[in-house]
Amino acid sequence: MVAQDKNMRCLLLAPDCAELTIADGESVRLVRRLCDSAREVVLSVGRGARVVLDEVCGGEVAAGNLVVRLAEGSHLAMTAAYLGGGGEVKHRIELCGAEAELEYNALYIVGGEERMNIELDVRHEVADCRSSEVVKGIAAGLARGRFSGMIYVAPDAQRTVALQQSRNLLLNDRAEIKTEPQLEIYADDVKCSHGATVGQMDEDAIWYMRQRGLDEAAARRLQMMGFAADITAHVADDALREELEAMITNKLDSLN
């Protein structure tokens, strides 16, 4: 995780922003609030630069494409939360310089008849880069969620380390989440893995909490908040993290 520090420059990406370049060696924190009319953004991160990017959608349908190009020695820590009316987002992260590093964490919650689609394409173009991605989904009602995750490793991208996880909760038997992790590897000296789980609530854990005085609704809420907290914990800014936690609470309330 790239931690926020006092020297980080903070920027709010406007919905009509199409291109942004982070200079070599800069430290920048970016906040992007998605709406249904956001433009595609191309973000170029210079050599040795450090970027923290939080992408948030609450109350609206999420729509937006993002392309990031990471130069030599640059670091991107991205946290995304989609807590509105579903939507579709596409993220393409290109690790173009040696020792570039990506940490990507995302959460979505859908209910009713909402649809959410996340497409993530991580491209290891050169040697000695690292990426880690965790995407979590919660679905209730007749909602549908989908995560499509690609890790591509080019022929010369030796010593790549790339890890991807998709973890999902279904709150009833009518909701559906599809997860499609993919590896496309053309180098032979790599450490790459992916995994996916789609399951129900942990009834044993709920029983355990009920034995300690919580009612069933509170026990289920606590389990869902803990599931989501693994993602929101990566938000370095206290105010934004508290805002996201309130959004998650409101969204979970709407699922009942």
Q: Which of 122-126, 135-139, 236-240 has the lowest mean pLDDT?
A: 236-240
- CA distance linking residue 254 with residue 238, whole number of Å: 25
The residue-averaged pLDDT of 206-216 equals 58
The residue-averaged pLDDT of 119-141 equals 97
- CA distance linking residue 3 with residue 1, whole number of Å: 6
In this predicted structure, what is the pLDDT of residue 116? 96
In this predicted structure, what is the pLDDT of residue 64? 84
Asked if residue 148 belongs to a domain, the reply is yes
Asked if residue 13 belongs to a domain, the reply is yes
Q: Is the pLDDT of residue 119 over 70?
A: yes
Asked if residue 196 belongs to a domain, the reply is yes
Q: Which of 83-97, 176-190, 207-221, 230-244 has the lowest mean pLDDT?
A: 207-221
In this predicted structure, what is the pLDDT of residue 222? 77
Packing angle between helix 216-232 and helix 203-210, nearest 10 degrees? Answer: 120
In this predicted structure, what is the pLDDT of residue 102? 98
Asked if residue 223 belongs to a domain, the reply is no
Asked if residue 243 belongs to a domain, the reply is no
- CA distance linking residue 7 with residue 14, whole number of Å: 22
- CA distance linking residue 75 with residue 102, whole number of Å: 6
37: containing domain? 9-202
Asked if residue 239 belongs to a domain, the reply is no
In this predicted structure, what is the pLDDT of residue 203? 63
> In 3D, which of 114, 147, 120 has the Cα closest to residue 251?
114
Question: Which segments of 82-215 does DSSP mark as H helices, in order?
Answer: 203-210
Mean pLDDT of the chain: 89
Number of domains present in the structure of the chain = 1
| Whole-structure pTM value | 0.90
In this predicted structure, what is the pLDDT of residue 3? 47
In this predicted structure, what is the pLDDT of residue 36? 66
Asked if residue 225 belongs to a domain, the reply is no
Q: Is the pLDDT of residue 146 over 70?
A: yes
Q: Is the pLDDT of residue 40 over 70?
A: yes
Displacement of CA 139 from its chain's centroid (Å): 16
Question: Which segments of 161-237 does DSSP mark as H helices, in order?
Answer: 203-210, 216-232
- CA distance linking residue 69 with residue 52, whole number of Å: 14
The residue-averaged pLDDT of 229-242 equals 91
Q: Which helix (H) or strand (E) holds 117?
A: strand 115-124
Asked if residue 143 belongs to a domain, the reply is yes
Q: Is the pLDDT of residue 206 over 80?
A: no
- CA distance linking residue 122 with residue 193, whole number of Å: 13
